[in-house]
Amino acid sequence: MASSTLSRIEKIRDHISPSYSEMKDGRIIKISPEVSEALSVGAPVVALESTIISHGMPYPQNLETAKEVEAIVKKNGAIPATIAILDGVPCVGLSPEELMTLATLGRKARKTSRRDIAYVVASKQTGATTVSATMFFASKVGIQIFATGGIGGVHRHGESTMDISSDLVELGRTPVAVVSAGVKSILDIPRTLEYLETQGVCVAAYQTNQFPAFFTEKSGCNAPSRVDSPEECARLIDMNANLGLRSGILIAVPIPSEHSASGNIIQSAIQEALKDAREQKVTGSAETPFLLARVNELTGGTSLAANIALVKNNAQLAAQIAVSLSQFGK
């Protein structure tokens, strides 16, 4: 509890300026006034990534979804903080105009993981942050909770290609709790869970014993831990901080059952998309957007609708957890 009070004092100190936070190297992170005010008084804040806006779905659905997700966070008592790099400036909390800019740019915005941050900032580019980059900036300004669709993981045949998402490494070294629908089902879920264990990441499934598989509620893999309420999630996050573990937490939330796509249809589409990716030699950071778009095409839009539904569901729970966590130490 004492650490929560100390953390709140440190946040007030770090946010004397209402709109900017200075990093140790002198570079500036621009923080929206609303987010800055919330952080300074210990109010609940939820970080949101921007790659889902630029690369996750087409315009105008991406803009509509971004606005709706932010509205859900607010409705559930927290302040949304969408994170992106705009013209070389890391931004935490975007204005409606900035959201519009990112949405219309689409894939012209650079997909930015932790690896790319320094280059995108130095070259004054616009970058949409992935899970790893969003976690990095969220942690820098004191945001403890982040909602997304699904995290990256070990790609299929990753034992040969070594294609492993930096999201997993970031979870092992950055103390931010990520609320997601598990791991994208286009990936190798069992190996991803093994890698998360190696990184020392606490993985907890929400109201289930089985780890979810993004589009479907079950992956066939048991979850290492289970939490059943926002309050339990908040206690877990608070204890992780009090113990000084300095690692992230993955809270895996099954997609709402009414939006869960047929497992057989999705798996068939995934196999077809993987085959197409191999034939077209799509690899690296371009692979996941390609596969998700192809699966959406093959399922007649069913997977995109499911994607939007699970993002909204995760945002709602993340806000509820943030509200509960904000009560600790009061």
Query: Catalytic residue numbers?
Result: 49, 184
Is the torsion defined by CA of 88, 94, 98, 103 positive or negative? positive
Report the alpha-carbon distance of residue 21 to residue 12 in Å, rounded.
11
Residue with tokens 């609320």: 179
Closest by Cα among 178, 164, 189 to 240: 178
Report the alpha-carbon distance of residue 82 to residue 51 in Å, rounded.
10
Closest by Cα among 3, 69, 76, 15 to 40: 15
Report the alpha-carbon distance of residue 263 to residue 63 in Å, rounded.
28
168 and 215 Cβ atoms separated by less than 8 Å: no
- Strand 89-92 and strand 79-86: the pairing is antiparallel
